[in-house]
Structure formats: C-alpha cells, structure tokens
C-alpha cells in the first residue's frame, strides 16, 4: 500500500506556512514503513530538532481505480479515520530552500501514525466533519472539513490522473492551522467529533 498526503489543503495552514494557496492539489507520498499503528509510541528521530504534528482526516481506499471521475470518487472509499503527518520542519525548510524533494522531512519511519477508522456511512455530512488534536490533554489543533480547499472527491479525481489507487491505500487530506513542535514525553490524542481514535506517546 501507499500513503498519499495532500499539502496546503486548508487556507489558514498555507498562510501560517507562508505558502501560497494552491490552484490545484499539492500531493506527496509516504511509504508503508511510515505507518505507526495500534497507538504504538513514536520515537523522536535524531535528524530533527523541530518535529511538527499535523493532524489530518484520512481516507481509506476501498477499490482500485485510475482516472476516477469526481462524480464517482465517493465509490472509492468506505472508511474515514484520523492520523498525524509528522514533519521535520527544519529539514523541510532546508529542502524547500534548495528546491529539493521533501521525503527526508516527511516520509521517515513512523511519520504516519494512524488511528481507528469509522464507516463513511456513520457521517451525516462529509463536508462538515470536525476533528481535533490534544497534546497532553490540551487542545492544540482543530479543524472541520468545511474548510478544505479541495474536497475528498476532487482529491481522488486529481491524484488518480497520475497514480493508480489500490485497495488499502490511504489519503491524508491535509492539516488545519495550529501546527507546532512536539517533544519527548508528549501524549497526542486525535478525535473525530468527540471520539478519540488515536492516542500515543512521543518518546
Ligand atoms: Mg500534512
């Protein structure tokens, strides 16, 4: 499986990163070795001094597809979850400065903690899913899919022009504003609505 991540999909986050609001979706990938499951602890990597959390709604692809039309995209995911797109912000800044790819900053082992999934059918409105991240019990980031620049279906249509989706692939759909550094000893808890679906320690 592969992990597709959408960048700059919330205008306020693009602003806090001093990035332009994109005219079309920005995406990058993480390998399957980035996944961190079952609330396992995350070990702070040696190569960064500025590791940021980005809490994101995650779609799980339920069937293979290529060149998926936006009007049919809803047929390609049945489950929705929440995860963290860990980012070594200092490493990313150096990559950006030199115009180099971001993989070192984004695709490292354990950089994609993933929580439990909920059936899509349990949501009354996919365009108004509220979610948040607590760090050590205090609210750190909160968002709603109302503010997505590119909807779930438009992301799938766009990305599938370039990359074939397979069953089990994950799409991290972008983070709202409020990204910040984590440190060893922090406990991260991710919620959709009031449901805690992912909780782990940074060591
Ligand atoms: Mg992200």
Q: What is the CATH number of the domain that holds 146?
A: 3.90.850.10
Give how many domains the chain has, as a whole number: 1
Per-position pLDDT tens, the chain of length 203: 999 999 999 999 888 988 888 899 999 999 999 999 999 999 999 999 999 999 999 999 999 999 999 999 999 999 999 999 999 999 999 999 999 999 999 999 999 999 999 999 999 999 999 999 999 999 999 999 999 999 999 999 999 999 999 999 999 999 999 999 999 999 999 999 999 999 999 99
Instruction: Report how far ligand 1's centroid is from the alpha carbon of 76 (Å).
Output: 21
Which among 61, 86, 59, 63 is positioned nearest to 192, based on CA atoms?
A: 59
> In whole angstroms, how large is the CA radius of gyration of the chain?
16
Instruction: Report how far ligand 1's centroid is from the alpha carbon of 185 (Å).
Output: 22
| Cβ pair 59, 77 in contact under 8 A | yes
Q: Is the pTM of this model over 0.85?
A: yes
Q: Look up the domain containing 91 and give its range.
A: 3-201
Instruction: Report how far ligand 1's centroid is from the alpha carbon of 56 (Å).
Output: 7
């Amino acid at each position: 499986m592969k992990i597709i991540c959408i960048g700059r999909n919330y205008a306020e986050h693009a602003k806090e990163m001093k990035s332009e609001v994109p005219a079309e979706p920005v995406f990058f990938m993480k390998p399957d070795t980035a996944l961190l499951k079952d609330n396992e602890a995350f070990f702070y990597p040696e190569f960064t001094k500025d590791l940021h959390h980005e809490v994101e709604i995650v779609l799980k692809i339920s069937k293979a597809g290529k060149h998926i039309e936006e009007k049919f995209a809803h047929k390609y995911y049945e489950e929705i979850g929440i995860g963290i797109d860990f980012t070594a912000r200092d490493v990313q800044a150096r990559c950006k400065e030199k115009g180099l790819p971001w993989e070192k900053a984004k695709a490292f082992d354990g950089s994609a903690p993933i929580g439990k999934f909920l059936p899509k059918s349990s949501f009354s409105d996919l365009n108004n899913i509220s979610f948040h991240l607590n760090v050590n019990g205090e609210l750190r980031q909160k968002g709603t899919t109302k503010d997505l620049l590119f909807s779930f279906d438009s992301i799938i249509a766009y990305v599938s022009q370039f990359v074939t989706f397979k069953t089990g692939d994950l799409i991290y759909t972008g983070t709202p504003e409020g990204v910040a550094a984590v440190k060893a000893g922090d406990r991260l808890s991710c919620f959709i609505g009031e449901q805690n679906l992912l909780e782990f320690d940074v060591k």
